[in-house]
Structure 1
Amino acid sequence: MFDILMYLFENMVHSESEVMIDQDELTEELVRAGFHHDEIYKALAWLEKLCELQTTDDTPYLQYKSKTRTTRIYTHEEQQRLDVESRGFLMFLEQINVLDSTTREMVLDRVMEIETNEFCVIDLKWVVLMVLFNVPGKELAYEQMEELLFELPEGLLH
């Protein structure tokens, strides 16, 4: 499923394709690209839920916007999915104001819905990018995250 999300994001968003695409046409394109129907439907449902997160005011974590820094206590399931490096990266993104508490919770919601046995900080970066792309008013944060995702390490690599 995550491969489909990556494919869609890289091919549709970065190619500036039309945002409103017929779901049947999209499904056919993904099948031609080699993806299976069940995984396609899961990925499309994941994207629908992402859109719903930014439009519904009854989502619990959207009701508690705070200007002060908070400490996030991760559930056991979240700790199983996100290793220490990933949780540290989320904290770093909050410290540099790429994420706020609301977008952090949106990211966590989407991370926990991905069906995978292995999830690393690179995958997390892509989820953050997808979430920020879909949240109006977060264009600067999206640009910062894009730079973090694609930055090349400086110096010699051994």
Structure 2
Amino acid sequence: MYDILVYLFENYYTPQACPRADVLANKLAAVGFEHDDINDALNWLRTLASTTEHCLPLAISHDTQLHNTRIYTEQEYAVLGTEAIGFISFLENSDSLPPALREILIETAQVADHSPLSLAEIKVLALMVLWSQEAEVDHLIFEELLADDEGRLSH
């Protein structure tokens, strides 16, 4: 699934440039992705769209410039893991991930098929959340999102 999300980021400048789900599934299969991975990625993208639809109106009604302290539940710790939570905090502290997008990231990470998430996996999910909102990201943060666990740039 994560390879497909990176593929979408690399091949579609904006989320609006992506074709409909059925056409996208066919294109991904033609490129060589497995059907189970395609279904997982499309389900994750649906979850992202649904979560975004619910979270962004709340952000408009609150001042998103304030840094709220986020207390994670035991289940969130179990799914995300301390490394992913640390990375989310890093993105927040660098002003790259506003509270509304943080909540979208946490919510969409909950649908992962295993836990805890690796640092590479949370980076891909964070990249996709930012991409889905067409958020401007500092160049150094962008490089960090694309770097693998050893600091090398992936893809």
1:1-158 equivalent positions in 2, closer than 5 A: 1-10=1-10, 12-13=11-12, 19-32=17-30, 33-36=32-35, 38-56=36-54, 63-136=61-134, 138-141=135-138, 143-150=139-146
How many residues end up aligned between the 2 structures? 149
**Cα distance change on mapping 1:66 and 1:5 into 2, 3 Å:** closer
What code does the residue aligned with 2:145 have? Answer: L
8 A contact 1:94–1:100 mirrored in 2: yes
**Cα distance change on mapping 1:135 and 1:144 into 2, 3 Å:** farther
Indicate the percent of aligned positions where both proteins have the same amino acid.
Answer: 29
Which 5+ residue runs of structure 1 have no aligned equivalent?
none
Q: Which has the higher helix share?
A: 2
Q: Please, what TM-score do these two structures have when normalized by structure 2?
A: 0.75
**Cα distance change on mapping 1:31 and 1:70 into 2, 3 Å:** same
Higher alpha-carbon Rg: 1
Q: Please, what TM-score do these two structures have when normalized by structure 1?
A: 0.73
Structure 2 CA distance for aligned equivalents of residues 88 and 17 of structure 1: 27
Structure 2 CA distance for aligned equivalents of residues 99 and 18 of structure 1: 21
What code does the residue aligned with 1:78 have? Answer: E
Deviation, structure 1 residue 48: 2.5
Which 5+ residue runs of structure 2 have no aligned equivalent?
none
The RMSD of aligned alpha carbons is: 3.1
